[in-house]
Structure 1
Amino acid sequence: FSQLGAQVHLDDFGTGYSSLSQLARFPIDAIKLDQVFVRDIHKQPVSQSLVRAIVAVAQALNLQVIAEGVESAKEDAFLTKNGINERQGFLFAKPMPAVAFERWYKRYLKRA
């Protein structure tokens, strides 16, 4: 995939069928941390510990970590402070039609 310029991201990591063994078996570039770990993470000590551990494993394997379902500034701050530089969720934008996305993206580029 990398020869084609594509990346492979393992979605919903930490739930369902995703596991640590997949990190070693498959040539992935990033894991997408499921929103179940993200929701109210600033108030959830167990989730905080799990996220820190997942980030440490990912960093040791040279993988990016993307957090799904970020909805509050407090969640965003915790994730940023703990090594997750890519985040997605309603805090940044809600789903939108392509035309609306084009306008949103142009405004986003001006702020960045």
Structure 2
Amino acid sequence: MHLDDFGTGYSSLSQLARFPIDAIKLDQVFVRDIHKQPVSQSLVRAIVAVAQALNLQVIAEGVESAKEDAFLTKNGINERQGFLFAKPMPAVAFERWYKRYLKRA
């Protein structure tokens, strides 16, 4: 089970103890321009440390730039999603995109 939008709204630390969570999805509010936001950088590092201590994956939402991607990768977030990789698309378009993606990988 993944906890979506972690760090905002109802997705809080208490949810980690209450449910059998496998991963947390870091809300894009922390990701946006993270390479220029020292407070967000500190928060993300702390969230990653908590996740590692609990053996949870961290997935970053809303990655839009190579600089954001580089910071997240450097700080142990290996799963990322956002416009940097692809925009939302219909299932048929996704199938074509994914086949091309696999050829590049």
Fold conserved between structures, TM > 0.5: yes
Runs (4 or more) in structure 1 with deviation over 4 Å come to none
Structure 1 unmatched ranges of 5 or more: 1-7
Q: Alpha-carbon deviations, 1:86-109, whole Å to 9, x = none?
A: 000000000111111111000000
| Structure 1 counterpart of 2:72, from 79, 85, 91 | 79
Aligned residue-pair number? 105
Q: Alpha-carbon deviations, 1:58-79, whole Å to 9, x = none?
A: 0000000000000000000000
Cα distance in structure 2, aligned partners of 1:11 and 1:18: 7
Q: How far 1:25 sits from its partner (Å)?
A: 1.6
Cα distance in structure 1, aligned partners of 2:92 and 2:3: 29
Q: How far 1:46 sits from its partner (Å)?
A: 0.1
Secondary structure of the 1:12 match is strand
TM-score normalised by length of structure 2: 0.98
Identity %: 99
Give runs of aligned pairs for residues 62-77 of structure 1, distance below 5 A.
Answer: 62-77=55-70
TM-score normalised by length of structure 1: 0.92
Structure 2 unmatched ranges of 5 or more: none
Cα distance in structure 1, aligned partners of 2:67 and 2:50: 24
Cα distance in structure 2, aligned partners of 1:61 and 1:97: 35
Q: Alpha-carbon deviations, 1:7-61, whole Å to 9, x = none?
A: x000000000111111112101000000000000000000000000000000000
